[in-house]
Amino acid sequence: MKFSSEFILARFVLQSFPAVSRELKNWECAAGGCPDIRLREQALSSIKLKKFHCQGGSVFAAWAPAACQGNLIRAIVALQTIGDYLDNLCDRAGIQDEESFRQLHRSFLDALSPGVECIDYYKHYPCRDDGGYLASLVSACQNAVSGLPFYDIVKEAALELAGLYCTLQVYKHLEPAVREKRLVGWLEPYLIQLDRQIFWWELAAATGSTLGIFALFALAAKTHPTAGRADEICSAYFPWITGLHILLDYFIDQQEDIAGGDLNFASYYACPSQTVQRLKFILEKSLSEAGSLSEPFFHLLVVRGLLAMYLSDPKVKAQDFLAIAETLLRSAGNGCIYLHRFCSSFRRAGLI
């Protein structure tokens, strides 16, 4: 069954958004039960402040057959909530221990591996008693992906993207004196494969997106996908679409990351003109890759939706980025201005 963009948006608003809210409400209750106050604070904060990550990811459920939407939403929300929670744990606990970060992120990989038993993910972390919160998220994601008809076809590709995601999270949270060297060394082989069309920090950003994994989840809900289609999704989304996703996230967060002393890949650009030039280039590559996929209208909607979602954030105006935002929106072609207005109205209504 082929869907129109209007049908996808209607499903997104009327079905995916409410379903995400219900899922997050359940996880908020679970997070509130963490016995360790520090873990409880980070779990609740990650849900409250990063809800829009799950909301945006749920567009992939709107692309899927109705029978699979419930499992897709549960998988997307559980995995994204794991990622957001671990990001908080690595950012806010005042530690920079590589072994601890790796152990925590085993949970992200285990969540994509049905049948794998949970381990002590806090083994090397200073806080430990979450009342089973993280293990519950892992099990929920495992159960949800098990319910996708063709998950076995996309599992290997999903784990490959997840491995990149976890490695980034480990390295980017190390002490500033070593993290850049570790990141550059890790990414060098990939930069060579890509003929250095992309800067190392842009590629690092690309590894930090969950969109490619969610696209694979949605593919697993389709009728008889092939391993070849899974590879096509991976190649299209990584590094261009995923890079655009996270660079936009960093772009609007520059001011607060400076205040918090956090690593921000958008700050590596030499000047605003280079920022615009590179974001336009990555946008053009993203649109080209999305247009080459089966059902291109959906993947083009995802790319344009990224611009609409991030550039409608009030932080754009607060940092005097409106001119850059307008340039990017107009570069995205037909429909992007409409999507931007759509997201702006949702923000005014307090839904995002």
pLDDT tens string 98-150: 999 999 999 999 999 999 999 999 999 999 999 999 999 999 999 999 999 99
Residues with Cβ < 8 Å from 317, sequence gap 6 or more? Answer: none
- Of the listed ranges 96-105, 137-146, 162-171, 226-235, the least confidently predicted one is 226-235
Query: Cα Rg for the chain, rounded, in angstroms?
Result: 19
Task: Quickly list DSSP for 236-262.
Answer: HIIIIIHHHHHHHHHHHTHHHHHHHT-
Q: pLDDT tier at 11 (50, 70, 90 boundaries)? A: confident
Q: pTM for this structure? A: 0.95
Cβ–Cβ under 8 Å, residues 246 and 161: no
Query: What percentage of the chain carries pLDDT values higher than 70?
Result: 98
- The DSSP 8-state label assigned to residue 130 in this structure reads -
Residues 6+ away with beta carbon under 8 Å from 4: 297
Q: Which residue has the tokens 């784990």?
A: 159
Integer Cα distance of 84 and 53 in angstroms: 9
Structure confidence at residue 3 (pLDDT): 60
